[in-house]
Structure 1
Amino acid sequence: MKGNEEPVRGRLLAEATRLFADRGFEGTSVQEIVTAAGVTKGAMYHYFDSKDDLLHEIYARVLRMQMSRLTQIADADAPVAERLHRAAADVVETTTANLDDSKIFFRSMHLLAPETRKTVRAERRRYHERFRDLVTEGQRAGVFRSDVQAEIVVDFFFGSVHHLGTWFHVDGSLSGGEVGEQFADLLLASLR
């Protein structure tokens, strides 16, 4: 990719994120996005197949970053309880740091084309499975209680994470990192 092309793609994503957050996915036209980004529709379609594709990428870039971080944490040479705590705190902190992206996505996911929605669910499932593997590892090692299925632990935890967009505020009394630490503490306490 040429050096001058990446800023165009970034502007399109930034403006789409801003507009989707302000007006909603359905209430934002491709024309409004390209006008705000200062590019032509042709330039947009060079990078994205559709408005749907833009929505997918808004969430996918956050998920790729989170997956990379989770892999690094999960593969670290540390006790499983420490790795799970770090992973839980990290997903909360990175979600709150990218709150508009997450809110837009969860509010609009049902509007994606069926094939795109299927792809996104598979990407999220891979993340949740990697997280679940840490729970399972701790259960097998006798570090975590084993009377609760790891899948339920993950569903319960991520239900709370996905709900952050409804109440967390950047200017609130707790930072994303502080909320992440408290979520992680609660998760680990529930597994003892």
Structure 2
Amino acid sequence: MSEPTTEAGADSAGTTAPRRGRPPTTVDGLSVPERLVETAVRLFSEKGFERTSVQDVVSAAGVTKGAMYHYFSSKDDLLHEIYARVLRLQQENLERFAALDAPVAERVRRAAADVVVTVIENLPDVTIFFRSLHQLAAEQQAEVRRARRRYHETFRAMVHEGQVAGEFRAEVDPELVVDYYFGAVHHISVWWRPDGALSAEQLGEQYADLLLASVLPR
């Protein structure tokens, strides 16, 4: 599990308190938090989350423990941030697609393809996180579930919009559409390889085609 520290600055609810002090410095062109997260991704992938210590991470990142604890209260925080940054990117992209002045089918297509591409582009992050999710503290697991639920609800709202507009089949449960599609997307980390027949973009387009085929009127 985590390696807590009294330097962490966590409140009584277990949430991380705002850090104060100098702004992030850089190490080899990355800010200290970015370098720590990138290093954690590599070490968690090579050694596993449990077998990687905070000292392993800071040594490989070329920073001190004090510098790490300025930004992350524990090893759990690093694991959480690995996936949270992917979720933030996907949520931003989804909200941009949802707000487009375009037919709902086109917006759904673009969002569906994007989530495949962003999973593949961040495959080490996604793979490590789902492999180690059970080791996060309960409140951090709940936070991840809330963030994922927000994404799914935004996506589901577009499916429902298409049904109300008569563009999508009304008899299909939008919740089932979301669960079915994202179950398939989450499985990508199990089988996709960069030397395979399809690029990330090609796979995204094919997944999006399959999704639309399931909701468009027959």
With the shorter chain as reference, the TM-score category is over 0.9
Matching residue within 29, 37, 41 for 2:53: 29
Q: Percent identity?
A: 60
Secondary structure of the structure 2 residue equivalent to 1:139: helix
Task: Please tell me whether residue 48 in structure 1 is matched to residue 72 in structure 2.
Answer: yes
After TM superposition, the score normalised by the length of structure 2 is: 0.85
Partner Cα separation in structure 1 for residue 191 and residue 47 of structure 2: 19
Give the CA deviation at 1:191.
Answer: 0.6
Output the aligned Cα RMSD. 1.1
Partner Cα separation in structure 1 for residue 170 and residue 50 of structure 2: 44
2:146 equivalent in structure 1 = 122
Query: Which is worse superposed, 61-70 or 166-175?
Result: 166-175
More helix by share: 1
Structure 1 outlier segments of 4+, above 6 Å: none
Task: Please tell me whether residue 109 in structure 1 is matched to residue 130 in structure 2.
Answer: no
1:65 equivalent in structure 2 = 89
Deviations along 1:122-178, one digit per CA (max 9) or x if unpaired, are: 011000100111111011111111212100000000001111110111222211111
Secondary structure of the structure 2 residue equivalent to 1:152: helix
* Count of matched residue positions in the alignment of Structure 1 and Structure 2: 192
2:118 equivalent in structure 1 = 94
After TM superposition, the score normalised by the length of structure 1 is: 0.97
Q: Which protein, 1 or 2, shows the higher relative CO under an 8 Å CA cutoff with sep ≥ 6?
A: 1
Contact 2:55 2:65 (C-alpha < 8 Å) held by counterparts: yes
Q: Letter of the aligned partner of 2:63 in structure 1? A: V
Secondary structure of the structure 2 residue equivalent to 1:26: coil
1:176 equivalent in structure 2 = 200
Compare CA radii of gyration and give the structure with the larger one: 2
**Runs of at least 5 residues in structure 1 that lack an aligned partner in the other structure:** none
